[in-house]
Amino acid sequence: MPESRVIVAGAGPVGLVAAAALADAGIPVTVVEAEADLPDGLRASTFHSPTLDMLERFGVVGSLIEQGLVCPTWQFRDREKGVIATFDLSVLSADTNHPYRLQCEQWRLTRLLRDRLATNPAVRFLYGLRADSVRQDADSVTLTAMDDQDVAHLIRGRFLIGADGARSAVRKSLGIGFEGMTIPELYLTLSTPFQYQEVIPDLANIAYISDPQEWFVLLRTRSLWRLLLPTDANEPEDLMMSEARIEQRMQQVLPKSTPYEIRHRTAYRVHERVAERYVQGRVFLAGDAAHVNNPLGGMGMNGGIHDALNLAEKLTAVWQGAPLETMRRYERQRRQVALDVVQQQALRNRQILNQRDPAVREAHHDELRAIAADPERHRAFLLRSSMIQSLRDLEAVA
Ligand SMILES: Cc1cc2nc3c(=O)[nH]c(=O)nc-3n(C[C@H](O)[C@H](O)[C@H](O)COP(=O)(O)OP(=O)(O)OC[C@H]3O[C@@H](n4cnc5c(N)ncnc54)[C@H](O)[C@@H]3O)c2cc1C
């Protein structure tokens, strides 16, 4: 007999949000995580307003705010001309309990959720087991997971959520296509304690800085600034990541007489892809397993958390007797958001930043200035960029 549980592959933000919502509904959950502990790599650092509203139910938002940096404004800048437009999220105070972006590392959320889940006896964590393949029949799912000795373990449950990240073994095992493209440049992320706001006039804590030669993004967290730079993928990795080369790039962004202190450095490939299906029988994909996009706009983790809660709500209904067909609406709603909102907005942000044609650049900048100056357009723009609008539009999807 299958165990009467939901299996969640992957203990990232998406898997743990889904697990927490299911566990709160009284559903037993087994979380299967490939690593020996929760990953703590530097990835997402932006929580958008509706994501914080959604996370309130788990009692973790106060702690995230304490550990993070509340950012009511963010801006587009031009490298030469300075501020193009500053957007003020306080105009959304009637739309959200959190009219700001919270800059806080995603690993802080996963730790808070894990600690909360650990107090629930119906939740099991299996670390060091890598999901490998999936079989299912009319009543159950069997996940085969490998340990570090390559010994196979069979984990059975009634349903499986594949939240095992962009290279999802669950998605691959089901043969679900992941169409899209790979961005030609790599993204280099560097963290430094240097306080950019002390030397760059009127700098908001989140700034997208366009330039025809080299755009970049500056993101402030509680103690560090993070710099994101596009990087030629043909540059040999040992050169790209060397002290001298990184110092040279930092000095190009902002020359100063002393060297920069670098706390973290990472370079990664960026893809824009959406899975052809999110639902296959009793198996469901969410988060990066279902969609990936460039990090400009900070929609990957946020959109994944929105998936997780939508999925958990429908799966709870199915657990309580609704037809399995109910899950199709999860796919229709969340896949449409990935295709129409997340991908489009991330692509547009990149186009604005790296536009080389001077006339098109100027037109983009004029448009941003006009939006910021018009209260109605300003609010509508922020409803979209904060992802509130995508959640409101879902209701219309049958
Ligand atoms: C540098 C960077 C900056 C980013 N900035 C932002 C941002 O500001 N805002 C934003 O919204 N998004 C951002 N993103 C994207 C964001 O990090 C991801 O969208 C988010 O991590 C997705 O969460 P997830 O839980 O779906 O997947 P992941 O975070 O990748 O978690 C997957 C989990 O599954 C585990 N796993 C993997 N394979 C297996 C397996 N076979 N079996 C079992 N477990 C497995 C992994 O160890 C991991 O714990 C950024 C990404 C990067 C790389």
Ligand 1 centroid from CA 295, angstroms: 11
The finding on whether 364 has its CB within 6 A of some atom of ligand 1 is: no
DSSP 299-362: -HHHHHHHHHHHHHHHHHHHHTT--TTHHHHHHHHHHHHIIIIIHHHHHHHHHHHH---HHHHH
Tell how far CA 216 is from the center of its chain. 19
Alpha helices in 237-279 (DSSP H): 237-240, 243-253
248-257 pLDDT tens trace: 999 999 999 9
Ligand 1 centroid from CA 31, angstroms: 15
Where in the chain are the domains?
6-72+95-179+271-353
279-293 pLDDT tens trace: 999 999 999 999 998
The finding on whether 219 has its CB within 6 A of some atom of ligand 1 is: no
Ligand 1 nearest atom to the CA of residue 301, by list position:
11
The finding on whether 297 has its CB within 6 A of some atom of ligand 1 is: no
| Closest CA relative to residue 209, chosen from 198, 199, 219, 194 | 219
Does the pLDDT value for residue 1 go beyond 60?
A: no
Does the pLDDT value for residue 141 go beyond 60?
A: yes
pLDDT in the model for residue 40 = 87
Percentage above 90 pLDDT, the chain: 84
Q: Could you tell me if 163 and 287 are in contact, meaning their C-beta atoms sit under 8 angstroms apart?
A: yes
pLDDT in the model for residue 346 = 72
Specify the range with the lowest mean pLDDT, choosing from 21-25, 135-139, 208-212. 208-212
Mean pLDDT of the chain: 94
Ligand 1 centroid from CA 288, angstroms: 6
103-128 pLDDT tens trace: 999 999 999 999 999 999 999 999 99
Ligand 1 nearest atom to the CA of residue 166, by list position:
30
The finding on whether 9 has its CB within 6 A of some atom of ligand 1 is: yes
Q: Could you tell me if 132 and 93 are in contact, meaning their C-beta atoms sit under 8 angstroms apart?
A: no
The finding on whether 111 has its CB within 6 A of some atom of ligand 1 is: no
pLDDT band at 347 (very low <50, low <70, confident <90, very high): confident
**What pTM was estimated for this model as a whole?**
0.95
Tell how far CA 77 is from the center of its chain. 23
What's the CATH class of domain 6-72+95-179+271-353? alpha beta
pLDDT in the model for residue 2 = 57
Ligand 1 nearest atom to the CA of residue 9, by list position:
43
The finding on whether 298 has its CB within 6 A of some atom of ligand 1 is: yes
Question: What average pLDDT does this structure show over 135-158?
Answer: 97
The finding on whether 117 has its CB within 6 A of some atom of ligand 1 is: no
Distance CA 18, CA 32 (A): 13
Ligand 1 centroid from CA 301, angstroms: 7
Does the pLDDT value for residue 343 go beyond 80?
A: no
The finding on whether 155 has its CB within 6 A of some atom of ligand 1 is: no
303-329 pLDDT tens trace: 999 999 999 999 999 999 999 999 999
DSSP 149-212: T--EEEEEESEEEE---TT-HHHHHTT--EEEEEEEEEEEEEEE---GGGTSTT--SEEEEE-S
Atom 14 in ligand 1: which residue has the minimum CA distance?
A: 44
Question: Do the bridges between strand 29-33 and strand 6-9 make them parallel or antiparallel, or are there none, so unpaired?
Answer: parallel
40-96 pLDDT tens trace: 888 889 999 999 999 999 999 999 999 999 999 999 999 989 999 999 999 999 999
The finding on whether 45 has its CB within 6 A of some atom of ligand 1 is: yes
